[in-house]
């Protein structure tokens, strides 16, 4: 299953415009409280961090716990002062990372 994240943000904006950025990544967000058919515990395995930066500077960081639903949806806002690239990094409990970037131009 592709663990491809989805990101929605406008391609071009006015200088200083505050835009909404929506993100969604497929992930079971295994809580660690479920039992398998034999009665043993299924270990916890979640995405515990999402980081958004713009041109290398932090915009927002989210820390997730198992109470966040599967296929975590996360939306936030960012003020865009100049053209550049948003970078998004999702980190899981094992240190695995998924990254994607989106360019935005200031008109």
Partner 1 sequence: MSNSIRKSENTLERRDVLKLLGLGTVAAATGSIVSSDALATPDSAAKLISKLSGTSSYKSGKITLKMPEIAENGATVPLTVRVDSPMSAGNYVKSIHLAAEKNPNPEVASFHLTPASGKAEISTRMRLGKTQNVIAVAVMSDGSVHRVSRLVKVTIGGCGG
Partner 2 sequence: MIGRKILSAVAIMGLGITIGFTNNASIAVADEAEKRAKDPRNKHFIVGEIKSGYVYMTSQTRDMQDDDFANPAFVWVDTGEELWNKVNGTAGKSCASCHKSAAKSMKGVANTFPRYDPKTKRMIAMQAYVNRHLGEKMGAKKWKWESEQMLAMTIYLKLQSRGMPVKSIINDQNRATLAPFLAKGKKFFEQRRGLLDMSCKHCHEDYVGNMARSNVLSMGMPNGFPTYRLQWQKPGSIHRRFSGCNKSIRAKPYKRGSEEYTNLEFYLIHRSSGLKWETPAVRN
Q: Which of residues 45-74 bind partner 1 (CB under 8 A)?
A: 54, 57-70, 72-74
Does position 70 interact with partner 2 (CB under 8 A)? The reply is yes
CA separation for the pair 51, 75 (Å, rounded): 12
Asked if residue 87 lies in contact with residue 34, where contact means CB atoms within 8 angstroms, the answer is no
Stretch that binds partner 2, among 32-40, 65-73, 77-85, 98-106 (CB under 8 A): 65-73
Task: State yes or no: residue 28 binds partner 2 (CB under 8 A).
Answer: yes
Asked if residue 85 binds partner 1 (CB under 8 A), the reply is no
Cβ–Cβ < 8 Å for 7, 88? yes
Binding partner selected for residue 33 from partner 2, partner 1, none, CB under the kind-specific 5 to 8 Å limit? partner 1
* Closest of 90, 93, 92, 56 to residue 73, by C-alpha: 90
1 touching partner 1, by CB under 8 A: no
Pick from 102, 98, 2, 86: nearest CA to 49: 98
Residues interacting with partner 2, by CB under 8 A? Answer: 1-2, 4, 6, 8, 22, 24, 26, 28, 69-71, 73
């Amino acid at each position: 299953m592709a663990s491809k994240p989805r990101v929605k943000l406008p391609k071009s904006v006015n200088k200083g415009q505050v835009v909404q950025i929506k993100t969604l990544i497929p992930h079971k967000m295994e809580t660690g409280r479920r039992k398998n058919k034999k009665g043993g515990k299924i270990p916890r395995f979640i995405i515990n961090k999402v980081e958004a930066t713009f041109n290398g500077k932090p915009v927002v960081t989210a820390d997730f716990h198992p109470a966040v639903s599967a296929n975590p949806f996360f939306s936030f806002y960012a003020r865009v002062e100049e053209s550049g690239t948003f970078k998004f990094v999702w980190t899981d409990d094992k240190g695995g990372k998924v990254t994607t970037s989106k360019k935005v131009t200031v008109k």
